[in-house]
């Protein structure tokens, strides 16, 4: 009995050390976010999004992506295999111009995506099973995460993060997340379930690609959702995102340097 108590105490102490270490690293990453985002303004790429609903193709879109003032700027250039043109192209250009103007004037619209934010992870989650390893040849810190005991979510975003279990791969040198995986542990309801009810098992995978040891840029993303929408309509949605045509702008923005396409299997 005494031995069991000692083991439990040592286990609890190790878990506390793991949590403290990752929490401190996430704080460093959060502090470094402005400089990281500033560095990303020198890079661009194309984003290819394919969505399936109930196993059938739904939409296919291609975006050009750049960064400005801590935000990604996504410009739709192709939909369902056809380049954007006419009124649709004009509408998209105006949307992007409006967003750029807002960012330049310091009036950034609120974020509305599904990504995990460092500030949410640090506030909502507890971290465990820390180990060191390599990802794409780079030394990273890997850990598990889940809800922090006793934490009471104050808003929809915190409720969502509090309801997932996942893994993180963190780069201490670049101060970026290199890979993230998480699965919804319990149903996530929007509007009390009247508007949408996301089922447990919904999963997300987000992997980055390291360029010349300098910065992590998106490599691939996948989102698989099962749930119910209004009046009980079942929704089975899968979104697969691939990235290509990576390029780097010079300081003046007048030219760009394309990167050679890589065999992604070599970077897993």
Residue 160 lies in a domain: yes
Q: Distance between CA 152 and CA 158 in Å, rounded?
A: 9
Which two structure tokens, joined as six digits, stand for 54? 């109930």
Residue 185 in this model has a pLDDT that exceeds 80: yes
| CA 147 to centroid of chain Cα atoms | 18
Residue 266 lies in a domain: no
Q: Could you tell me the sign of the dihedral formed by the alpha carbons of 189, 190, 194, 197, in that order?
A: negative
pLDDT in tens, 144-153: 999 999 999 9
The domain of 178 spans 2-103+129-247
Residue 231 in this model has a pLDDT that exceeds 80: no
Partners of residue 132 on adjacent β-strands: 141
Backbone torsion region of residue 193, taken as left when φ is above 0, otherwise alpha when ψ lies between -120 and 50, otherwise beta: left
Longest CA span, the chain: 77
Q: Distance between CA 115 and CA 205 in Å, rounded?
A: 10
Residue 259 lies in a domain: no
Residue 122 lies in a domain: no
Compute, in degrees rounded to 10, the torsion defined by CA atoms 60, 66, 70, 72: -10
Residue 5 in this model has a pLDDT that exceeds 90: no
Predicted TM-score (pTM) of the model is 0.83
Residue 258 lies in a domain: no
pLDDT in tens, 92-129: 999 999 999 999 998 877 765 456 788 889 999 999 99
Domain count for the chain: 1
Helix (H/G/I), strand (E/B), else coil: 16: helix
Q: What secondary structure does DSSP assign to 125-137, as a single string?
A: EEEEEEEEEEETT
Residue 7 lies in a domain: yes
DSSP state of 264: G
Residue 39 lies in a domain: yes
Residue 147 lies in a domain: yes
């Amino acid at each position: 009995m005494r031995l069991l108590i000692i083991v439990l105490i040592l286990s609890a102490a190790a878990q506390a050390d793991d949590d403290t270490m990752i929490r401190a690293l996430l704080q460093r990453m959060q502090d470094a976010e402005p400089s990281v985002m500033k560095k990303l303004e020198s890079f661009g790429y194309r984003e290819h999004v394919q969505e399936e609903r109930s196993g059938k193709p739904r939409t296919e879109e291609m975006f050009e992506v750049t960064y400005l003032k801590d935000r990604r700027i996504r410009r739709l250039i192709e939909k369902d295999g056809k380049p954007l043109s006419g009124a649709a192209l004009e509408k998209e250009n105006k949307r992007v111009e409006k967003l750029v103007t807002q960012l330049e004037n310091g009036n950034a619209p609120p974020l509305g995506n599904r990504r995990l934010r460092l500030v949410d992870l640090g506030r909502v989650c507890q971290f465990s099973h820390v180990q060191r390893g390599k990802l794409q040849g780079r030394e990273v810190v890997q850990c598990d995460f889940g809800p922090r005991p006793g934490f009471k979510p104050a808003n929809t975003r915190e409720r969502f993060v509090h309801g997932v279990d996942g893994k993180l791969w963190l780069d201490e040198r670049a101060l970026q997340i290199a890979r993230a995986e998480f699965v919804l542990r319990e149903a996530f309801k929007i509007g009390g379930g009247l508007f949408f009810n996301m089922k447990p098992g919904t999963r997300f995978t987000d992997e980055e690609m390291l360029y010349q040891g300098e910065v992590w840029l998106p490599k691939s993303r996948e989102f698989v959702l099962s749930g119910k929408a209004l009046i009980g309509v079942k929704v089975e949605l899968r979104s697969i995102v691939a990235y290509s045509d990576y390029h780097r702008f010079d300081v003046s923005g007048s030219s760009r340097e394309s990167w050679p396409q890589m065999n992604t299997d070599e970077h897993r």
